[in-house]
Amino acid sequence: MVDIGCGSGRFLIWHAKNSGKSQNYLGLEIRQKLVERAQFWVNELELMYVYFMFANATMSFEKIISSYPGPLSLVSILCPDPHFKKRHHKRRVLQQPLVDSIINNLCLGGQVYQFHSPSFVFLISKAWTRYFQML
């Protein structure tokens, strides 16, 4: 499972503790202090299969995920659009290259959890259309 924009990591840690599955969890966050805090909590809770990484997922998701040998079965993106004004659109997590990368790396039957974002619905529909045209 990969949580993009994981913030303080509480959702990912909760999910790892309560899922009952033996799988790896990765949180990607653009703010270093939040990554350090989340990794501290993981170490305190001795969750050896949970890791947080300081990264800009919009720019580096493909590189990070392509080096992982296992399947990508779940991606969560919570609160991806920080502000509705046009001048803040450049800060949005959900941009077409990231959506394409998620679709290209998600295993068959994989899932995407996404908290309401109209831009995501539009981007994912465009990406799936291109994907099915390639088949």
Length of the chain: 135
Whether the predicted pLDDT of 93 surpasses 80: no
CB contact at 8 A, 55 and 30? yes
The CATH number corresponding to 2-134 among 3.10.20.30, 3.40.50.150, 1.10.10.60, 3.50.50.60 equals 3.40.50.150
Per-residue pLDDT, 116: 60
Which of 73, 83, 31, 67 has the alpha carbon at shortest distance from 52?
31
Out of 4-8, 98-102, 126-130, pick the least confident. Answer: 126-130
| Mean pLDDT within 12-26 | 87
Residue 89 pLDDT > 70, yes or no? no
Q: Active-site residues: which are they?
A: 81
pTM of the full predicted structure?
Answer: 0.77
Report in angstroms the alpha-carbon separations of 12 from 15, 18, 19, 104: 5, 10, 10, 23
The mean pLDDT of the chain is 82
CB environment 4-36: b (16+ within 10 A), e (fewer): bbbbbbebbbebbeeeeeeeebbbbbbeeebbe
Q: Average pLDDT for residues 38-45, to the nearest whole number?
A: 95
Q: Which residue has the higher pLDDT, 85 or 73?
A: 73
Can you say how many angstroms the Cα of residue 8 is from the centroid of all Cα atoms in its chain?
14
What confidence tens digit (pLDDT) does each residue in 119-130 have?
555 555 656 566
Domain boundaries, the chain: 2-134
